[in-house]
Amino acid sequence: MKTLGSLLSVAALAIGMSTVSFAAQKNEGKFTLTQPATIGSTDLRPGDYKAQWEAQNGNDVKVEIVQHGKVIATTQGQLKNLQHPAPYDAVVTKPGSNNAITIDEIDFNNRTQALVLGGE
């Protein structure tokens, strides 16, 4: 009987850890820039990045852009619900001031929410 109790404890711990891991993954996603772009006042070079966000009010989020383990840009954003899961990772850009390209939205593969960036 003691073995069954131990087994149930281990199973509960594993389920709890996987839930925490899933929740952490839900608030971050990776993306790749193929051309220079801007977020707020920060210029980003082409390369691989991670966006991580923290909920604030409703769909509003605080977004951090991370590269090589360092936060290199911070901005405000919103979560946008998509009708269907995104078929791939995508970075949507728009023209900014001084001919700069500004990141407007980041879609993540197989997710039904996208990050819409703006403000600072």
Domain definitions of the chain by residue range: 29-117
- For residue 119, what pLDDT is reported? 53
- For residue 26, what pLDDT is reported? 76
The pLDDT tens digits for 17-31 are: 444 443 444 799 999
- For residue 57, what pLDDT is reported? 86
Residues of the chain short of pLDDT 70, as ranges, are 1-25, 119-120
- For residue 114, what pLDDT is reported? 95
- For residue 2, what pLDDT is reported? 55
- For residue 118, what pLDDT is reported? 81
| Residue in 34, 52, 53 with CA at minimum distance from that of residue 44 | 34
